[in-house]
Structure formats: structure tokens, C-alpha cells
Amino acid sequence: MFAILCVFIAGLNHDYYNCRSTSCLARICLRFWTHCLSISTLSDYLGPSFHGFEGKKKKVDIEHLLQYCFSARTVRKVHARLVVSGTLQSVYVSTRLINLYAHLGDLCFARKTFDNIPSRDSYTWNSMIAAYVRTGCSREALNCFSELVSSSQVPPDNYTFPPVLKVCENQIDGKKLHCLVLKLGFVWDVFVAASLIHMYSRFGFPADARNLFESMPFRDSPSWNAMISGYCLNGNLAEALNFVGKMRLGAINLDSVTIASILPVCAQVDDFLGGVLIHLYAIKHGLEHDVFVSNALINMYAKFSRLQLAENIFDKMFAKDLVSWNSIISAYEQNDNPVRAIELFREMKCHGFQPDVLTLVGLASSVAQLGDCQNSRLLHGFVLRRTYLMDSIIMGNAVLDMYAKLGLLDCAQKVFEDLSAKDIISWNTLITGYSQNGFASEAIDAFCKMESCEDTSPNQGTWVSVLPAYSYLGALQQGMKLHGRIIKMPFHLDTYVGTCLVDMYGKCGRLDAALSLFYEIPRISSIPWNAIISCHGIHGHGRVSLKLFQEMQRERVDPDHVTFLSLLSACSHSGLVDEGQWCFHVMQEEYGIRPSLKHYGCMVDLLGRAGLLEKAYEFIKGMTLRPDASIWGALLAACRIHGHIELAEFASDKLFAADSEHVGYYVLLSNIYANAGKWEGVNEMRSLASSRGLKKTPGWSSIEVNSKVDVFYTGNKSHPQVDRIYRELRIRTEEAKSLGYAPDYSFVLQDVEEDEKEHILSSHRQGVHLQSSTTPDHRSYEGG
DNA sequence: GTAGGGTTAG
């Protein structure tokens, strides 16, 4: 074998030695050496061949060969030979071994090597500390640093401080390190200074970082980058951008780090053009193929929903890493294309990448978007096996969010309870899950539990998650108490929190309060406009909704698809047929928004409610999308109002062909039959629904008295004061009748006598306005 | 032979 090696080497033309053959040769040599040939023997045989090593005239030795160890296994073999040959006495060789082990991820052997060195020099200490930092063992790194300081073998030097500063845990320790740096005279080392700047920024002291930066006699681009990343950490995006500008004015080249830091800022401040200019700069300076730059570009383009641009970058990358795959997967996931996200996940696995926490976070969201309950459980199982749920709070929250979005609240609750640590986002996710699935009371319960936790305090997201629950119950007084608390907080004029408050006042009927609050919060996005337009529509003030829309146009705020849903619904509930049709036209022609099934549904409702049944039917026939159950349902509801049995039967055929699982439609058709006195049809619908295992959910209403919400629903008399309530109701009905009130019995859809009909109408009894919403329970809530 | 600043998230 050795003879073959010699022939191979002799056959190489030394003038054309390329790196590949050098590397290959070195590895073969290593192999022989670990099999007990001495280095001098190797050198004697191969000497001339090695002089070509990377063009340097260097004597071959084991230290030189160490750089060709590409696996921890090889290093261990070399290590064993070094111990046998006695070469390990050299601090230099041992330190190199520590670094090799650390780079190959074998921290245990790095430490063993470190422990066995009789006298360590500064390189040894620095290498061991850096090894801990690189592998994320912060505590061990800090302990090692303390050991160095107390051992007095060698003092820490300028190479010691950067890694230690990177992992120090608080500003007080950071300050102590800064004092030591000053004492030892390393403050003007650019590496140490950049680390100090970053440390001060990390702990929220940007002024200290700035002072240090200003006092530096010489600044290189990493010093500037430390300032820029520091401003990003502290959320001062304007100053981060300002520093990039200053760098360019000072003729300091932006490097790949600057670009990777600033691209996310362009996305956050919604500056697409700025982002493209940075991209062009990267191309011009040959930086676009840097992995960090490419990844940052993918993420930026994804945030601007420019998926084609993101995918172009991804495709052109020479070397993709896990972050590249995670970025492109979440790009599709966040732009409502979960199918492509999952496809890319499969491709990623084919390329030999193992998913990490962030891959699975993106995947959990994709699975939720697809409504895929089966895969959600598979994902949960996978995450559990990898112990990610125990190790990562983000992963736990993502699984919780997945179950909440799928409406599997029991699973969500279980995941929440099993979380090894809960943060405010865990609570917010649970509260949002309840709130968005109609479990308002559970949402409020969870909020109250969160408030009783000492180590957790609500943030903006908490208010956004819990306020809709109060709106849902119409709990105005309790909502106002929350408003009272929010107003004292620095973010009380936040668009999202403000919009939730506007929505709460609006839904609870306080349109005046909703409107005055609306004019206090920022109105540059469509979000608050949608809320104020919608709540006026709900209460039948369609013309006000239209006026607000005109105001929105004057303020040059771009409406979105939700704005038009709110407008169409407002017009529908106010009988504004022409205005509704105008909105539908403007949406497409002026704003280029393609109508969704929801918009079509609103239009059918608008025409149908106004009695234009034929026109509504013609409208459905002209649709560019295939009508689903909701469209036929809207037509059916209109037929019910206007008693058009023939069209109702046609619509119901279409409806049940599209969706036979929605109980609301059975109830609707049953009510149509009842209205027409066709009681056999009513019975048929009821038995059909029950034979398919569908249960109707009762309608409900609520009232808030003295910050206490009472919920009533049909067929239930469990309220402790039920007798008093109905006595009062009878008195009020008599009073109303004496003033000329005549009950409209067409809403009583049961085959009973007139006096019974009146009783049904004036109480919460089964048969009146059956709804398919989720039923709240009838517990009461004390004000928070 | 040892060191700084960077990309993805619920």
C-alpha cells in the first residue's frame, strides 16, 4: 500500500499540484501516520512532494497535517498517535487539537485535551473559551474565563475578551469586563471595541455603545456593523439606516455583514426600493452569493410578498444552508402558499438537511393553514420525539398555535399545560385560540389566569387577543376597564390595540366612542378604517360607512379586500343596492382587487335582501369563481325573506350538493318550509339533519349589568333569576302592546296557536332564529 | 495555533 502511495506521488507533476490532490495526499499520509509510520519516515519518503504544499516551502510535520483532519474520528486517531509518540507535550499541538475538536463539534475531547496540558499558554485558554462560546455553552465559557483569571498562569489578552463579552449575562458583568479591558490596556483593539459596543447594545445601553464608538481612534467596518446591529437590537431602525448612510459618506465599504444586517430593516420599514438598491450594491460588489446575504435577500423579498424574486435568489445560491431552506419554506408559508412550503420541505429532506426548530415552526403553520388535522398530530409526535417541545418555547408555542388554528382547542389546552416554560406569547396564543373559535368566556378565563401569574405581564399582543372576546360578549363595562388600563401604557396608540378598542366600542353599540377613538389612533393603514366602517355597517349605518370610505380615499389610504367586505356588508344591511354595486365595481377597477367568494356572497346577499332575487341568481351565473355553499346559502336566505319557494328549492339542491355538513343551511330551509306552512318539509329537514349527525346550536344573547355579563340562549332557563326576568318581560310586552305594538308572527316557525306564538316570540325558546354559531356557556363574569 | 459585527420564528 505504501509502495502504491509512493508511485502515486512520484506520478504527480509538482508544478501543477492543485489543492484537491494536496488535500487527498495529506489525508492518505495521515492514514499511514496513524498506522504507526513515524513522521520522519513519511518525510524521508515523500519529502520533495510536500514542498509543493500550497506553494509554501515548509517542512512537513504533523502540525501541518492536522489541518487535513476533516472528522472528529480522524482527530481522535491522530490524538492517540500523538499521545503514544509523546508529541502531545507541545502546547502548540494540544491547542490545535482543542480547536480541531471544537470546530468538529466534539467539545468533550476538546476539554479532555485542555485538562491534560501541564502548562497552558494564552492561546490554550483563549481556544478553550472560544470553543465553549462557539458551541453555545455560555456558562462553561464564563467559568473557564473565571478559572483563567483566578489561576494567574497567564493574564487574559485582547483575544480573550471578544468571546467572553459575547456570552456575558448582564450589563453589570459587561461593565466589569470593560473595566478589566481598560486596566489591561486593550480598549483600542478594534475586535475588543466591537464586542464592547455589541455588549452595551445587547443590554439596552445604546448611548454607552455610541460613546465608545465615537471615542475610537480607528474604526473598521465591523465597528460600524456593531453599531448598526446594536440599533437594530434596540429597535432604532432609523438610526441603523442613518449609520449605513454615514458609512457610505465616509467611504467605508458595506460588507456582507452590513448588508445582511440592513436588509431586514428595509423590510421592517416597508422600504422596498431601499432593499432593491442594497441588493444592487451587493451584486456590484460581488457580495450577493454570500450565504448570509442571500438568506437575508430571500427573507426581505418574502416580506414584500415578492416570492418570485425570493425563489430566484434561492435557486441561484451555490451553497444553501439550513437557514436558506427555512427562509424559502417560511416565505411560502407566510404568503398563504402552504402547499408549496410543504413541497419545499420534502425537497429539503431529499438534499440531506435535517429539520430544526425553525423548519418545524414554519411547517406547523403550513399544516394549520391547510386545515390538515392528521399531519398536525404527526408533526406533534415528531417534535415530541426530538424533545424540541421541552427545549424550545418557540416550538411549544408554534404547536399550540397550530392546534388553536385548527380549532382543536382541547389539544391546544393540553400542549399549553405541558409546556415546560410559558412566556407571554404562550398565553396570547391560547387566548387568541379561544377567542377566534368563539370561546369568549374561556379566552377571558385564560386572561384572568395569566394576570394572576407573577412573572408574566400583558403586552400589546395580549390586548389584541383578549379584547375581541369582550366585544363578542358585548361586555362594554369590562372592556372599558381594560381601556382604562391600556391608556396608561406607552403603546396605547398602537394601531392594532387601538383598532381592537374601536371594534369593541363599535360592536357594543357605542359608535360615538368608537369614532372619537378612531380619530386618535394612527390611520395610515387600512386596519382601523376596516374596523370603523364595519361597525357602522353592523348597526345599519351604511351611509356613514360609505362616507368613511370616501374619507379614507381622501386620506390616500389604500383599501384592501376586508375594506370592501365591510362596505358590501354595510350596504347590504342598509338596503343600499346601487352603492353596493358601485363598491364592487370600484374594488376591481380602481384597486385591482379580485373578488373572493366572500365578496360574491355579500353581493348575492345585497341583491337578495333587496328582493332582486332574479338579479341575484343572474349574478351567480356570471361569477368567475365556482359558487360554493355560502353563495347558494345567501340566495336561500334571501328566498326565505321574500318567500320565494321555487327558487329556494333550486338553491337548496345546489347548496346540499356543495356542502351537506353545515347545520345552518338545514335550519334555514326548515324555516322556509315553516314560513310557508309546509310542516312536513320542516320535519323532513330536521330528520335529515339528525340522520347526518348534525346538531343545531341554539342562538344566544347577552347583557352586561354592573360589569357582569349574563348569557341567555334558547331553550335554557338555568339563570338563577329566571322567574323575575320573565315576569318583567310579560309586563313590558303588555306595555308595548298598549302603545300599539303588534308582534310579527312570521318569525315563529312552529305549528302552534296565536297566543302560543306570542309567548314564543317574547321568550328565549327553541325554534326562534336558530344559529350555527358556537354556543357560549351561561356562566357569569365578574369585571377584571 | 486563539478574537469582533450578520440571515430564519411562535
- Strand B contact at CB of residue A288, distance < 7 A: no
| Residue at grid coordinates 479532555 | A112
Q: Which of A255-264, A715-724, A764-773 has the highest mean pLDDT?
A: A255-264
For the CA of A288 and the C1' of B6, the distance in angstroms is 14
Nearest nucleotide from residue A362 CA, by C1' atom? B9
Assign A701 to helix, strand or coil. Answer: strand
- Strand B contact at CB of residue A276, distance < 7 A: no
Nearest nucleotide from residue A129 CA, by C1' atom? B2
User: Tell me, what DSSP letter sits at residue A555?
Assistant: T
List, in sequence order, every residue forming a beta bridge with A709; answer none if it has no partner.
Answer: A704, A781
Q: Flag whether pLDDT at A30 surpasses 70.
A: no
| Residue at grid coordinates 309586563 | A731
pLDDT band at A42 (very low <50, low <70, confident <90, very high): low
Cell of A44: 524521508
For the CA of A333 and the C1' of B9, the distance in angstroms is 12
Q: What value does the mean pLDDT take over residues A295-300? A: 97
Inter-residue contact A726 to A765 (CB < 8 Å): no
Q: What value does the mean pLDDT take over residues A710-720? A: 75
pLDDT one-digit tens code per residue, A368-381: 999 999 999 999 99
Nearest nucleotide from residue A166 CA, by C1' atom? B4
From residues 161-200 of A, which are strand B contacts by CB within 7 A?
A: 162-163, 166, 189-195, 198
Cell of A556: 390616500
Nearest nucleotide from residue A226 CA, by C1' atom? B5
Q: Flag whether pLDDT at A119 surpasses 90.
A: no
pLDDT band at A778 (very low <50, low <70, confident <90, very high): very low
Backbone angles phi, psi at A704, to 5 degrees: -110, 120
For the CA of A64 and the C1' of B6, the distance in angstroms is 31
For the CA of A252 and the C1' of B5, the distance in angstroms is 14
| pLDDT, position A91 | 87
For the CA of A314 and the C1' of B7, the distance in angstroms is 13
Q: What value does the mean pLDDT take over residues A682-697? A: 79
User: Tell me, what DSSP letter sits at residue A743?
Assistant: -
Mean pLDDT of chain A: 86
The three-state (H, E, C) secondary structure of A620-661, written as one string: HHCCCCCCCHHHHHHHHHHHHHHCCHHHHHHHHHHHHHHCCC
Lowest mean pLDDT among A345-354, A630-639, A686-695: A686-695
| pLDDT, position A73 | 83
From CA A307, how far away is CA A298, in angstroms rounded? 8
pLDDT band at A346 (very low <50, low <70, confident <90, very high): very high
| pLDDT, position A89 | 67
| pLDDT, position A193 | 96
User: Tell me, what DSSP letter sits at residue A776?
Assistant: P
Q: What value does the mean pLDDT take over residues A405-418? A: 95
- Strand B contact at CB of residue A393, distance < 7 A: yes
Compute the CA torsion angle A294, A299, A305, A311 (nearest 10 deg). Answer: 40
Q: Where are the beta strands (DSSP E) in A383-518?
A: none
Q: Which residue is nearest to nucleotide B3 (CA to C1')?
A: A159
Q: Which of A115-124, A397-406, A630-639 has the highest mean pLDDT?
A: A397-406
- Strand B contact at CB of residue A22, distance < 7 A: no
Nearest nucleotide from residue A326 CA, by C1' atom? B8
Residues A751-766 as b or e (16 or more Cβ within 10 Å = b)? eeeeeebbebeebbbe
Backbone angles phi, psi at A406, to 5 degrees: -80, -5
Residues A361-394 as b or e (16 or more Cβ within 10 Å = b)? bbbbbbbbbeebeebbeebbeebeebebbeebbb
CA distances (Å), origin A61, targets A98, A104, A413: 18, 22, 63
pLDDT one-digit tens code per residue, A147-163: 999 988 899 999 999 99
List, in sequence order, every residue forming a beta bridge with A701; answer none if it has no partner.
Answer: A712
| pLDDT, position A716 | 74
pLDDT band at A764 (very low <50, low <70, confident <90, very high): low
- Strand B contact at CB of residue A425, distance < 7 A: yes
Q: Flag whether pLDDT at A177 surpasses 80.
A: yes
Residues A519-534 as b or e (16 or more Cβ within 10 Å = b)? eebebeebbbbbbbbb
Nearest nucleotide from residue A121 CA, by C1' atom? B2
Strand B nucleotides below 7 A of a protein CB? 1-10
Q: Flag whether pLDDT at A94 surpasses 50.
A: yes
- Strand B contact at CB of residue A394, distance < 7 A: yes
Cell of A623: 361569477
For the CA of A402 and the C1' of B10, the distance in angstroms is 10
Q: What value does the mean pLDDT take over residues A716-731? A: 82
Backbone angles phi, psi at A703, to 5 degrees: -140, 145
Q: How buried is A784 (Cβ within 10 angstroms: 0-12 exposed, 13-18 middle, 19+ buried)? A: middle
Closest listed residue to residue A499, CA positions, set A443, A486, A447, A488 = A486
Inter-residue contact A461 to A424 (CB < 8 Å): yes
From residues 35-94 of A, which are strand B contacts by CB within 7 A?
A: 91-92
- Strand B contact at CB of residue A121, distance < 7 A: yes
| pLDDT, position A769 | 33
Q: Report the Cα A780 to chain-centroid distance in Å.
A: 34
Q: Flag whether pLDDT at A46 surpasses 70.
A: no
Q: Is A108 left (phi over 0), alpha (psi -120 to 50) or beta?
A: alpha
Q: How many Å from the N-terminal Cα to the C-terminal Cα in chain A? A: 83
Q: How buried is A102 (Cβ within 10 angstroms: 0-12 exposed, 13-18 middle, 19+ buried)? A: buried
Inter-residue contact A264 to A282 (CB < 8 Å): no
Lowest mean pLDDT among A71-75, A131-135, A569-573, A638-642: A71-75
Element (H, E) at A703: strand A700-705
- Strand B contact at CB of residue A141, distance < 7 A: no
pLDDT band at A183 (very low <50, low <70, confident <90, very high): very high
For the CA of A497 and the C1' of B4, the distance in angstroms is 40
- Strand B contact at CB of residue A222, distance < 7 A: yes
Q: What value does the mean pLDDT take over residues A296-312? A: 97
- Strand B contact at CB of residue A767, distance < 7 A: no
Q: Flag whether pLDDT at A88 surpasses 80.
A: no
pLDDT one-digit tens code per residue, A440-481: 999 999 999 999 998 888 999 999 999 999 999 999 999 999
Q: Flag whether pLDDT at A676 surpasses 80.
A: no
Nearest nucleotide from residue A429 CA, by C1' atom? B10
From CA A430, how far away is CA A443, in angstroms rounded? 8
| Residue at grid coordinates 480522524 | A74
Q: What value does the mean pLDDT take over residues A739-755? A: 71
Backbone angles phi, psi at A733, to 5 degrees: -65, -40
- Strand B contact at CB of residue A535, distance < 7 A: no
| pLDDT, position A760 | 66
Handedness of CA A226, A230, A232, A238 (dihedral sign): negative
Inter-residue contact A750 to A413 (CB < 8 Å): no
Inter-residue contact A630 to A597 (CB < 8 Å): yes
